[in-house]
Structure 1
């Protein structure tokens, strides 16, 4: 539970985290279109104190107008496109090189040495002009069931005082990361259905015959329930090295970059239940 100071800040604490996480993932899974997922995810992030979001498929850096699902004000989206911020956005540049979530204040900006401001500085000043005080960017890099590589970026916009943002992030950062990994795969899946007429069952039929061994499923399931490698080793009566070997093997089979991503992909593809 949070400190008295955190409670005074009005932090959006999730006390029944596992149950809430399951509800959020089920709500995303039930979406049948990108329009529906826009509404559902907006409700989810508002529960965490964010005002809006922008999800972008960044798999192809050369695209001027990539897939975008957003609930931010249209004026910001128009400005972002008109000013060509996609080519100067410092958060997007960082997101392409990392798997870890980061807040905007951690992104280094180039110094302003003359009258002309660098594009990265102009981008961040512009978003503040729209009343955004801070934000969280969550990159997701993964392979789909057909082996295709995707890089997605989701930005969560925060209007409240910055102090509340950091306190909230301490409590909910991991949960938001899990939800965003799940969301990314769902959006790409739905977009394929809407634009190419593909069916989700075509994508995942082979994977649902189970590329994972029973033991790999077990270690991912315990990881998804918040257990460390040491705790999982005790539960399964094996060594920590054995647990980590199974996790590494599962990550390789699922095309995941880390344990969290592997666990979420396994849940998404129906290979494990949490």
Structure 2
């Protein structure tokens, strides 16, 4: 199936289910085993809107382990418009025997046979002007060297396909507005979450990868004070951990990188 035929297949889809099946056939033609489309604009949700053609066991593991709040690919999707691969992600270093949650997420993906993933972030406005963010990953189960070749040769094609795919999804949802999935409905505003200037600062520095000690030195305050501001911010954000708090702050526009 060539690029023109793939786009035609996507544009001919009349329902979300048909659209999902069409994308599955298209990405299989490139060598991927399936895909997952996730609402990346609601980091506060434990189970955001999603569709895809991935194993049920992977979904159960992803949900039960709360990987949605630790997935480094999902976090990066909120900060970029450029497609990337799982293998390009910079994961935090292990500290002794304890694995960071980001590392646990990617280790689990490999245990399920996913040797790499091609990720396409997308940020767009609906017909009402509301901003949405999504992340689509295409799962790769074959040899990594074959994935590297595909990434170099076809990443622009896959990016273009997803532009057409998301637009077709929006067209279908706008037509069937009463049954619109969350990803394409206007998101709730963040007016009710009010962080102080210091709380925003410590979360913003955390988003840039700074430790508590780093942030304390930058702001000229004690590490204990930084920890206090972080805890206050997470409580207001109703975030389960710092990673969750950072992601939610970025998605809601509370901080900007």
Same fold (TM over 0.5): yes
Deviation at 1:143, TM superposition (A): 1.4
CA contact (8 A) 1:34 1:69 kept: no
Classify 1:141/1:22 alpha carbon distance in 2 versus 1 (closer, same or farther; 3 Å). Answer: same
Matched, 1:163 2:116: no
| TM-score, reference length from structure 2 | 0.66
Within 5 Å, give how 1:92-111 maps onto structure 2: 92-111=74-93
Q: Deviations over 1:32-54 (max 9, x none)?
A: 21211121111000111111100
Matched, 1:76 2:58: yes
- Looking at structure 2, the residues matched to 140 and 128 of structure 1 have their Cα atoms a distance apart, in angstroms, of 25
Q: Which runs of 5+ in 1 are unaligned?
A: 1-13, 15-19, 199-274
Matched, 1:154 2:152: no
- 2:73 corresponds in structure 1 to 91
Residues paired across the two proteins, number: 181
SS of equivalent residue, structure 1 residue 150: strand
Moved over 6 A (4+): none
Matched, 1:41 2:19: no
| TM-score, reference length from structure 1 | 0.62
Classify 1:124/1:131 alpha carbon distance in 2 versus 1 (closer, same or farther; 3 Å). Answer: same
- Looking at structure 1, the residues matched to 179 and 64 of structure 2 have their Cα atoms a distance apart, in angstroms, of 31
CA contact (8 A) 2:116 2:147 kept: yes
- Looking at structure 2, the residues matched to 97 and 29 of structure 1 have their Cα atoms a distance apart, in angstroms, of 28
| Cα RMSD (Å) | 1.9
CA contact (8 A) 2:173 2:179 kept: no
